[in-house]
Structure 1
C-alpha cells in the first residue's frame, strides 16, 4: 500500500513538472511592456476565477520568477479604480469584492451572489467575535463570557458554515475541545488578519464581552495544572 502511494505521488510530481515546462511563465519572447500586461491579465484571471482569496504563492506560479507580485497588484488596483468592484487583501491573499457603495443596489436587485458571509443571528455573530479574541476557547468559557449557555447547536452551526475549527484540547479538567476561527472566517468578513476585529474595549463597555472572565478562567486552569 505504501509503495502504491509513493508511486502515485511520484506520478503527480512528474505531471506537475511537465506542466511547468509547457507553461511559459517568463514570456521572454515579448517586449517588456507586453510581458507586464500579460502578467497583469493572468493575475486578474486567477483571482477572478477563484472562490477564495488567492495567495502570493499561487500567483507566483503564473508569472516570471523575477516579477514583483506587489507591483502587479498595485497596477491592477489602479486599473480597477473606476469599476464597481475592487481588489482587496483578505485572509492572507487577494480577492475581488464589490465596492461597499453598491451593496444597496445589489440587495435591491435580489440577484443571487457568490461568496460573502451567510446570515447569522446576532448571538452567533458575537460568539464568532468572542472566539476570534479568546481562541483557543472552550464552549464552557464562551458560556461564561456571555453569562448564558452557548449551545452545541450554535457551535455546530458555525463549524458547518466553515467559520470555526477545532483547536488543541484544553488543559482544564476533562480536557474539553477548544475552538478557533478559520481563514474562511477572515475571508467572509473581509478581514486580512484577526487584528481587524472590532475594538474589544468597546464591546466590553457595551456589556457584550467580558475579557476578565476568560482571564480568570485561564488563571484558574493554570493554577490547577501547577498543583497537579
Structure 2
C-alpha cells in the first residue's frame, strides 16, 4: 500500500468561525503510526464520496485529511482496493464519484431497482438539443432552431432545465439581448464526463444521423460573425 508522511498538526491561532472546528476535528492524526493514519484517511475519503449525491471535489476531500496527505496517491489506492467490486471510483464533473461498472448495467436494469445519479430519460430531440448546447454554448434558442431547421420550443428548453441539465447563460449581444443557455455540472455528472472536452466527436454523431455537421458549422460561423 502506498503511504505518505504527514507533518504534526500545528495549532491555529485564528478566531474565524471555523477555528473551533479546526481544533475539534483531527485531520492530521499525528498520534497514529503512518500505516494506520493512511488507512483512516482512505476510509474518510471513501465515506465522504459514498455519502455524496454529487461528485466530490478535491477541495472537499482535503477538509478531512491531513495537510501532508497526497490525495492523488490516496485515490489510486482506493481505486485499487475497489478493483474486484461491482462499482468503481471515477473522475467525473471535476470530482470523484462511485459508479457501478458498465458490465453490471443489464443486471441493474433487470432488477428494476431505483437508482441514483442516472441520466434522465430524454426524447431523441431533447438529447440532440442538449448535445448542441454542449458544443456551442452559450447559445440562444433561436440559434438552436437554425441548427435543427425547426423550432426548438420553450417547452424543450424548460424540460432540460427542469432536469438540471441546462442553465441560463449571459445575455446574447444580438438585437433583443435574448437569453443564452449553457450546460451544468449535473450534465457532466449524468453523462459521465469529466469536462466538455470529453464530448463525443461531431463526426461520430453525424455518422449516426444525430447532428448535421454542415448546419453546425454554418451556425457557429454565424454566431462568431454576430459576436464580432
TM-score by length of 2: 0.89
- Name the SS of the counterpart of 1:96 in structure 2: strand
Secondary structure class of the residue paired with 1:214: helix
Give the SS at the match of 1:95.
Answer: strand
Q: Which of residues 69, 77, 80 is equivalent to 2:79? A: 77
Q: Confirm or deny: 8 A CA contact 2:136 2:220 kept in the other structure.
A: no
- Structure 1 gaps of 5+ residues are 1-12, 224-228
Q: Distance in 2 between matches of 1:142 and 1:94?
A: 32
Deviations 1:70-112 (A, max 9, x none): 0000000000000000000000000000000001000100111
Which of 160, 181, 184 in structure 1 is aligned with 2:183? 181
Q: Deviations over 1:13-45 (max 9, x none)?
A: 844221121000000000000000000000000
Corresponding residue for residue 218 of structure 1: 223
For the structure 1 residues 207 and 222, does the alpha-carbon distance in structure 2 shift closer, same or farther, using more than 3 Å as the test? Answer: same
**Paired residue total:** 211
CA distance in 1, matches of 2:125, 2:191: 16
Partner of 1:100: 102
Please report how far the alpha carbon of residue 201 of structure 1 lies from its aligned counterpart in structure 2 after TM superposition. 2.1
More helix as a share of residues: 1
Query: What 5-or-longer segments of structure 2 have no aligned partner?
Result: 1-14
- Three-state SS of the structure 2 residue aligned to 1:217 is helix
Partner of 2:59: 57
Q: CA deviation at 1:207?
A: 6.0
1:42 corresponds, among 41, 44, 50, to 44
In the alignment, the residues of structure 2 paired with residue 190 and residue 222 of structure 1 have an alpha-carbon distance, to the nearest angstrom, of: 32
Contact conserved, 1:55 with 1:92, CA < 8 A, in 2? yes
